[in-house]
Amino acid sequence: MFSFIARRVGLLIPTFFGITLLTFALIRLIPGDPVEVMMGERRVDPEMHAQAMERLGLNKPLYAQYIDYIGKLAQGDLGESLRTRTSVWTEFTSLFPATLELSLAALIFAGVLGLLAGVIAALKRGSLFDHGVMGISLAGYSMPIFWWGLILIMFFSVSLGWTPVSGRIDLLYDIPPVTGFMLIDTLLSDEPGAFLDALHHLILPAIVLGTIPLAVIARMTRSSMLEVLREDYVRTARAKGLSPARVVFVHGLRNALIPVLTVFGLQVGTLLAGAVLTETIFSWPGIGKWLIEAIGARDYPVVQNGILLIACLVILVNFVVDILYGFANPRIRHQR
């Protein structure tokens, strides 16, 4: 097991450098620089432009800028946003909890419903329920998030008035940020009713963001489950008279979960990508919008380090999934 983990860690180092190099190069390949974008349609005085570029350290040759960047990273310095002059770490940590809260809610929604629907569809293969789940999940997978979000808002928020339109909480509550997780912060505050209000605000965005992962997980669980149910050990379990529930959940689902677990890991990347759109529709103050804006403004430190932090996170989650996978399926550990 140790050498398995060591091999995986060894792979992380070149991946990390690859990401730094890629983000550093890509953002600089786009024409325009931070000073020009800030001036917009206005005049850029060449002298003032040169001074500003010097202050930002962008007048140095590219390799020197990259060495500076890596040097600072090594000291744990992620730099400051060129636009807001706030440290990238502060901005990231103030916005990331919102994205994480939303993603976790979406994942729980997708995971619970997806597994349940997938298992039932597999057990009732060929039934109306099975066809229904598969049809709906195909539609869910192909759903344009923007359109889906707006439809839900118009129906549930505006017509029925059941859910709020957007935001993390009713702005009449003034909740001081402690952890950045609104559900926790509302519990820490003295405002009665704030927690339920925050939960209420989470419903629609979590459904919208969770729709695609839900579809993937449901389909994956169904096909994986169907395969497992055909295995000899399931037949043996049935033959020795175990209860149907025990056969399905202990012998069947446990083994069917192995590929589903991988999909879960991969969905973290999808959730973060989908978060950009969901955050825009629901005015959810997360990292998606933050990065898009930074690219538009050529805010180099935010783009480089924001993407690096997210990439590290996705790598970390997949690393944990790999390890879990190793535990769940010992054969993986011994493969070279």
Chain positions 87 to 106 lying near another protein, rule: CB under 8 A, are: 91, 94-95, 98
Name the one range near another protein by CB under 8 A: 116-124, 127-135, 291-299, 307-315.
291-299
Cα–Cα distance for residue pair 281/317, rounded to 1 Å: 26
Name the one range near another protein by CB under 8 A: 153-161, 247-255, 267-275, 310-318.
153-161
Q: Residues 65-84: x/- map of binding to another protein (CB under 8 A)?
A: -----------------xxx
When asked if residue 181 is in the footprint of another protein (CB under 8 A), the reply is no
Q: Which of 67, 110, 94 is nearest to 260 (CA)?
A: 110
Least Cβ distance, residue 315 to another protein (angstroms): 26
* CB 231, CB 97: distance < 8 Å: no
Least Cβ distance, residue 2 to another protein (angstroms): 43
* CB 91, CB 286: distance < 8 Å: no
Cα dihedral 32/47/51/25 (nearest 10): 20
Beta bridge partners of 87: 80
- Using CB under 8 A, pick the residue from 4, 65, 170, 261 that binds another protein: 170
Cα–Cα distance for residue pair 217/219, rounded to 1 Å: 6
When asked if residue 161 is in the footprint of another protein (CB under 8 A), the reply is yes
Identity of the residue numbered 76: G
When asked if residue 178 is in the footprint of another protein (CB under 8 A), the reply is no
When asked if residue 86 is in the footprint of another protein (CB under 8 A), the reply is yes
* CB 145, CB 278: distance < 8 Å: yes
Cα–Cα distance for residue pair 228/308, rounded to 1 Å: 39
When asked if residue 187 is in the footprint of another protein (CB under 8 A), the reply is no
Which residues are near another protein by CB under 8 A? 30-32, 34-46, 48, 51-52, 55-56, 82-86, 91, 94-95, 98, 150, 153-154, 157-158, 161, 164-168, 170-172, 174, 176-177, 279-286, 289-290, 293, 296-298
